[in-house]
Amino acid sequence: MNLPAFCTLLTPLGQAAIARAAELDPSDETFLSALTQLQKHFDSDLAKAALETTLLRRKARAKFTRADSMYFTRDGLEMASSEIVSRYRAARFAPFARLADLCCGLGGDTIGLASPPSPVGALPDGGGAGGGGLFALDIDPLHLALARENLSAYGLQAKLIEADLTKSKPPAVEAAFFDPGRRASGRRHFSVRGYHPPLSIIETWPPMPLGVKISPGVDLSEIEHYDCEIEFISLDRELKECVLWFGELKTTARRATLLSPRHPPLSLTAQPPNHPATAPRSDSGVGTTQPPNHPTTLPLAYLYEPDPSVLRAGLVTTLAAQLNAAQIDPDIAYLTADTLTPTPFARAFAIEAAMPFSQKRLREKLRAMNVGRVTVKKRGSPLDPAEFARSLKLRGDEERIVFLTHVNGKAWVLIGLPAGGG
C-alpha cells in the first residue's frame, strides 16, 4: 500500500470499500477471488488496499486490542511489538516527560509511550507522554500517516516528524526509544550492521537514557561492547525481542522477562561473569557462556526446560541456583533435580526413565509402558523429532514425552510427563 491509496481509505468511499471487504471475509487463500469480487464495485487500487487492510486487521488482533480500527502494512505488522510488550517497555520511561520514538513505524510503540501506566491487560486510553511531550520520527511518510491514525484509535496523540536519522540527530528529549528497521527488500536482517539505520548510529548521538529494540536472535558478540542492560522478552513462552537499555534506563546487566495477559511481568536478573557472551551453539539452548565449574549430574526425578528468554539471557545457571538444580551437560540447557520447585521460568517434567541413547531399548521401554504416542523434544541431537517419532512404530494407549539430548557429552534419551511448575 502506498500513501495515496491509504489516504483514499480514509475517505467515505474508502471506508465503504473496507466495509464491503470485511463482508467478503478474506483470507490469504481467498484473497484473489475476493479482490475480483470487490473490483466490481471499486477501482483496483482501492479494492486491493481495502482487502489488505481487512486481512491485516484480523491478523493484528493477536497484537492490538483495537486492531479493527487500525491500519497496517504487512512488514509493519510483522515488525510491530504487541500491545502488551510495548506497554511493558513503556513503563520504564514513566519518569520522563519528554520522549522520542525513533523509527516509529506504524506507531505500535508510540501508543505504548503515549499511554498512562495501567495493569496488564487494561486498555491504554489517554494520558502518558502524549501530545507535546512525545515525538514520533520516521523516514517514511506512509508510516507517519499510519501512526497518526493508529494513535487516534486509542485516543492518543504525538508530534509526528518525517526525518532521516542518518542525516539528522534525534530531537532534544529526556529519553528515547529506538526501533531500527530490520527488513529490506522482504529480507530480515539479524546482524545489527544490516539494520536501517545501523545500530552503530547510537554512538554518534548525545548520551541520554535510551532503549533500543533489536532482534532476539542477535549474535551477542555484536553488542557486548555496549555499556547497557540486555533484556530478552518472551510472551507466553515465545521469544519476542531483545531490548538494550542505556543510561538511567539500565537496571542490571542481563534480564529475562516473561509476559502474559494472565499475570504481571516476571523477571529473572543476574550480573553475568566477566567474560564475553557468545551466540547460541546449535540447538543446545545455552545462549551465553556459562560460569566455570558449574555442576552437572545424571538425570534425576525432574527435568526443567527453561523459558527461551532465560536461555538467550544466559541465566540458566542463575535459574538452576533458584531451583537447587544442575545441568545434565555443560552445553545443554536442561536442568534436573530430585524435588520439584514450581517456577514460571521453566517447564517441568517428571522423568520416568533415562538411558544412554539406543533406539531399540527406547522402543522396548515405551512398548512396555503401553505408549502409543510420543512428543519428541531435542537439544544437542541431530535427529529430526517428527521422523524419529514415526520410526518408533508404537502401539498403545499412553502418551509420553521423549527427550533426545546429551548427558555429560554422551547421547541420551529420557522419557517423561509434564509435572507442572511452569
CB 345 within 8 A of CB 372: no
Is 2's pLDDT higher than 60?
Answer: yes
Set of cell numbers at residue 39: 473490483
Domain ranges of the chain: 3-60, 77-270, 302-420
Question: Taking the alpha carbons of 416, 380, 278, 337 in that order, is the dihedral positive or negative?
Answer: positive
What's this model's pTM, rounded to 2 decimal places? 0.89
**Is the preceding omega at residue 197 within 30 degrees of 0, hence cis?**
yes
Mean pLDDT score of the chain, rounded to an integer? Answer: 90
pLDDT number for residue 279: 34
In the predicted model, is pLDDT for residue 273 greater than 60? no
State the architecture of 77-270 in CATH terms.
3-Layer(aba) Sandwich (3.40)
- Mean pLDDT for the stretch of residues 128-151: 88
**Rounded to 5 degrees, what are φ and ψ at 87?**
-75, -30
Residue 128 pLDDT level (bands cut at 50, 70, 90): low
Say yes or no to pLDDT of 126 above 50.
Answer: no
**pLDDT tens digits for 347-392?**
999 999 999 999 999 999 999 999 999 999 999 999 999 999 999 9
Q: State the virtual CA torsion across 319, 330, 253, 180 in degrees, nearest 10.
A: -110
Question: Which residues are CB-neighbours of 281 under 8 A, at least 6 positions away?
Answer: 331
Q: If you ran DSSP here, which 8-state letter would residue 227 be given?
A: -
Condensed to tens digits (0 to 9), the pLDDT of residues 154-206 reads 999 999 999 999 999 999 999 999 999 987 655 676 789 889 999 999 999 99
pLDDT band at 130 (very low <50, low <70, confident <90, very high): low
pLDDT at 127: 45
